[in-house]
Chain A
């Protein structure tokens, strides 16, 4: 394909450029949130995330050392120090001492303090205050600077969301709840479906074609229909809202796709293999466990990824079958929706919480993409 006669170099360039454009278009939204999760609340609300990659001009409000730091030099009271740490590479362009005019002075100029005395600030942020009388008060003078700051990122948001147990925004509990929902809800349906898929693929019995058709039909039944009847059912048999209910629900909802994928794959296994095993006297149970299961690994992996992504990312099933009034069993997706309501403007919390929940599926996605693609190709009804 790459060297068809009809392709002109100009067209090649256009193709490359369009693909680059599309990839950027697709990646930018996620990238924005990812970068935001490494910025402080102030940084996020004062400038767009795309600016954070370059040095930026920012207005900062800082404070000199307190009057207790003053020393007497040749009859003059002096406070001096640096506004920035030694390892910070900062260049001040303008500065001021009043919030009404934050950029009135250039570095090196001298200003008169309102409470007496003078102050001068240089380019690197070193300041010197002088007064003929003693400086009074508890706090230092406010200094406003306009400075070019290098890009700065922080892990504080993640520390707060993951490690700080006392924080009301903690996602640690929800993370483990999600994990608790996901793992059984991924493993159990695979096993149940694998046996059924084997029967549908390799055993002859009346009604087989009808059952396969029914599975294909159930594949598209919206799970919205199942919410009320099943909640009623769970309440009536005493499961109520909880993990057992959500595991069962996910098992049921994942069953059609599991059977469909696995049956299609198993039906494609070589007939000789199974017939030979039968002739050799293996029981169906042995054929299934010793032959079919190991051979079907790619299909099992495909479905496992689907089911994992779907249960990890699910909101609706968890809301209906799991999360009760106490909120002890909340999952990450539900926490994020709550945060969207209560912390709508706090992007540092939202972005970090979202990324904590997105991270695991992304790892699974990139690690097992091959199986995911295979599953998609097998799963779309031809």
Chain B
């Protein structure tokens, strides 16, 4: 069977399975289990209404539990064990973590991740805010915004190819085909640089790719927030003689502080998970390793599930503060 046909069949089975499940289980509840008639009609209606939410929720909860909640626990367990060939797993306590902490590559990944965590959210948010503010006042703003938003639709891998061409380097005597080197030479540089192999700085050239992608996201959200600012506050500031910069930094930015924070944390989470860009552009060579790629290396190249899981737990640990903050905010909003 060709995959395309299998795909169509899966859609058909999946969709009709879902609809069938919901329809039949509701039918069973109403007609067989607790029919709303006979001597216990009232009681039956109440009972049915007690069960029904769980019928609606069951498939989603199963997917959430199996594909997201269970792996967190299982990864924690795996990070504390070691695979013994042929006979399952052995409890090793924190050995995987100490082994990982002894590896220079791990610390390289941690150091780079810290830079990623500071630079990418900061730059994306700053550029996003800048574009949102500038385009707010001009007629072709929406057109400009949709061009800057466009990289959101491009895969990390596609973006990697795009930027590899930008960073391309040819020998000195040839014409440069990478625009960065061409500009560098044009403005008086003597020799073309292979930008991605210069340790320390090359990480920043990789970050540029993610900033390029994420700025559009920041811009969209912040642009909506800027539009939501009450006009009166700005008018009052103008009457008081504030200049445009004062209006922006003293009146507008403080009013959208929470939105900026939301954008910042959302990009932070994306940064922690970033894998494709490093994998496709340098694969962690020349000191560009990051945690997600380090973990992939350990899991699927070195086949070391213990250390791989331990590094996954480090990523989880770094996400946790944001997780807690999000949950608390959501609960506050519910009340």
Contact = CB atoms under 8 A, between A and B. Distances in A.
Given A16-B138, A196-B60, A313-B154, 13 more contacts: A6-B244, A15-B134, A27-B150, A29-B212, A48-B175, A49-B177, A199-B57, A205-B54, A222-B273, A222-B319, A229-B74, A358-B153, A381-B266
Interface of A: 1-2, 4-7, 11-12, 15-16, 18-19, 22-23, 26-30, 32-33, 36, 44-50, 176-177, 179-180, 183-184, 187-189, 191-193, 195-196, 198-200, 203, 205, 208-209, 211-230, 232-233, 243-244, 247-249, 251-253, 255-256, 259, 283-285, 288, 309, 312-316, 319-320, 329, 333, 336-337, 340, 347, 350-351, 353-354, 357-358, 361-362, 364-366, 369, 372-373, 376-377, 380-382
Chain A binding site: helix, strand, loop or mixed by DSSP?
Answer: helix
Contacts of B59: 192, 195-196
B22 A195 contact: yes
B157 A6 contact: no
A7 B137 contact: yes
Interface stretch (B65-73, B96-104, B108-116, B118-126): B65-73
Contacts of B19: 191
A228 B77 CA distance: 12
B68 A253 contact: yes
A199 B57 CA distance: 7
Interface of B: 3-4, 6-7, 10-11, 14-15, 18-19, 22-23, 26, 30, 49-50, 52-54, 56-57, 59-61, 63-64, 66-72, 74-75, 78, 127, 130-131, 134-139, 141, 144, 146-158, 160-166, 168, 170, 175-179, 182, 212, 215, 217, 220-221, 224, 234, 238, 242-244, 247, 258, 262-263, 266, 269, 272-273, 275-276, 279-280, 292, 295-296, 299-300, 305, 308-309, 312-313, 315-316, 319, 322-323, 326-327, 329-331, 333-334
Nearest to A286: B26
A192 B60 contact: yes
The list of the 8 closest CB pairs from A to B, nearest first, reads A252-B67, A313-B155, A196-B60, A365-B153, A229-B74, A199-B56, A226-B71, A354-B161
B134 to A, nearest CB: 5
Contact of A230 (B3, B71, B138): B71
A316 B275 contact: yes
Nearest to A186: B11
Contacts of A192: 18, 59-60, 63
A49 B75 CA distance: 47
Nearest to B330: A216
B144 to A, nearest CB: 5
Contact of A376 (B147, B156, B161, B221): B221
A283 B161 contact: no
Contacts of B163: 29
A72 to B, nearest CB: 45
B330 A212 contact: yes
Contact of B53 (A203, A230, A232): A203
B168 to A, nearest CB: 8
B154 A6 contact: no
Contact of B11 (A36, A187, A288): A187
Contact of A225 (B15, B138, B315, B330): B315
A22 B57 contact: no
Contact of A224 (B7, B295, B334): B295
B137 A15 contact: yes
7 contacts: A19-B144, A187-B11, A224-B273, A226-B75, A255-B68, A256-B64, A362-B153
Contact of A251 (B23, B63, B151, B220): B63
B67 A361 contact: no
Contact of A209 (B64, B127, B334): B334
A379 to B, nearest CB: 9
A251 B18 CA distance: 13
B262 A230 contact: no
A252 B3 contact: no
Contact of A180 (B4, B15, B175, B329): B4
B154 A358 contact: yes
Contacts of B148: 22-23, 26
Nearest to B142: A369
Contacts of A351: 161, 165
Contacts of A209: 331, 334
Given A23-B147, A30-B162, A364 B272 contact: no
A337 B160 CA distance: 9
Contacts of B141: 19
Given A19-B131, A176-B4, A340 B280 contact: yes
B276 A224 contact: no
B71 A184 contact: no
Nearest to A18: B134
Nearest to B17: A188
B74 to A, nearest CB: 4
Given A27-B147, A357-B158, A228 B326 contact: no
A373 B222 CA distance: 12
Contacts of A314: 155
B7 A184 contact: yes
A205 B71 contact: no
B241 to A, nearest CB: 9
Contacts of A49: 165, 177, 179
Contact of A285 (B22, B136, B139): B22
B273 A223 contact: yes
A6 B53 contact: no
A165 to B, nearest CB: 15
B11 A340 contact: no
B154 A211 contact: no
B330 to A, nearest CB: 4
B162 to A, nearest CB: 5
A184 B16 CA distance: 12
Contact of A221 (B56, B68, B168, B258): B68
Residue of B56, B70, B170, B334 most packed against chain A (CB within 10 A): B56
B155 A365 contact: no
Given A16-B138, A49-B177, A192-B60, A312 B155 contact: yes
A195 B22 CA distance: 8
